[in-house]
Amino acid sequence: MNNRRVVITGMGIYSCLGKTLEEVKESLYTGKSGIIFDQARKDMGFRSALTAHLEIPDLKKELSRSQRVYMPEQAKYAYVATCEALKNAKLDQDYLDKHEVGLLYGNDSSADPVVKSVDTMREKKDTTLVGSGAIFQSMNSTVTMNLACIFKLKGMNLTVSGACASGSHAIGLGALLIKNGLQDMVICGGAQEVNPFSIGSFDGISAFSIRENDPTKASRPFDRDRDGLVPGGGAATVIIESYENAIKRGAPIIAEVLSYGFSSNGDHISVPNVAGPARSLEMALRLAGIDKKEIGYINAHATSTPKGDANEAKAIYQVFGDNMPEVTSTKSQTGHEMWMAGASEIIYSTLMMKNDFIGANINFENPDEDSARLNIPGKRIEKKFDTFLSNSFGFGGTNSTLIIRNL
């Protein structure tokens, strides 16, 4: 059962670029930015009021009140994304009822319900007023516990908590389960809350761009004049299964997960280095069994921070040298989607691959000495490519690299 092929058969997205795959594809093609200035954050004392713009979905028609009461905003995003992915994968509730379908979703915070619960306890001095849903909303595993119960899933069920690499690790770990015959199908993804409480501490360490006069120009990965990231969020769901299972049920096969590389920097808790990411890249290439010349596009982790982008550029150049494909960071459009990013960027890259284009690394106007060695298009290019590599890195030095091939 070892080394079974793993394929992607469904994708779903809820992001600042759109609420459906079609909307997101159009945004990627046109170079639309999802970044806004949020006055409410300024009123709260934020240094930067920049954020990706998302509406919390109203699920009153889709879910009962008893289901919704357990769901914080990121679980609602994940529900919408998962519904789209299941539909595209031609999966219905009857199939989920009769098979052991797994669930691995990236999430690394649930701040809003925690803050509100503590506020209630402090103000009212009565824990019963917190509400019956608070405990389930406030746990890191809130997304998987909600999705598993709503869709009545019977396979692997847990949350992957790996900072800003969470969504990527979820897909990689799901692929390992399938390769080794432990699951036939896994619903994977990543979700990120967008409320101010979730990222206030980031703002407190001056991690965010303060280019507030022109929000759409604020996220500028690899550009010489970048001054910090812009927070984003939403949810992205990727359904993966064994090739045999997909063929057996007549599923639409979108792409293949060729490999999953990973590493730990073993260094600073927030400042990335070069050696750790390079090892993750090299591991992914080795396990994929392909020459680096076959990689047609690299979706970089690059978040628009001075040190992070520079060190990733160094790592990419160290591994690829003169065999450099196009490199972009879709975070130039979305901001940093954090726990969601590793999953959403697989979807963004796959949409570009299936439609023969590479979206612009918007706001890339002047390279620095490191990014100048990469092949970064500042404008959209029409290009047919069949294999891409996607990086995701996180606090604590956790690194994940996925290689995906078109089918």
Residue 164 falls in the annotated catalytic set: yes
Specify the 3-state DSSP secondary structure of 94: helix
Q: Which of 16, 169, 188, 336 is catalytic?
A: 336
Q: Which of 164, 169, 188, 268 is catalytic?
A: 164
Q: Which of 16, 169, 188, 301 is catalytic?
A: 301
Residue 169 falls in the annotated catalytic set: no
Taking CA atoms, 51 is separated from 15, 112, 337, in Å, by 12, 16, 10
Taking CA atoms, 267 is separated from 124, 215, 264, in Å, by 44, 33, 8
CA distance 227 to 204: 15
- For residue 307, give the H/E element and its range: helix 306-320
Burial of residue 283 (CB within 10 Å: 0-12, 13-18, 19+) is middle
Residue 149 falls in the annotated catalytic set: no
CA distance 204 to 206: 6
CA distance 332 to 391: 15
CA distance 343 to 86: 16
The closest alpha carbon to 40, from 28, 48, 49, 52, belongs to 49
The closest alpha carbon to 366, from 260, 232, 211, 222, belongs to 222
CA distance 405 to 159: 26
Residues marked as catalytic: 164, 301, 336
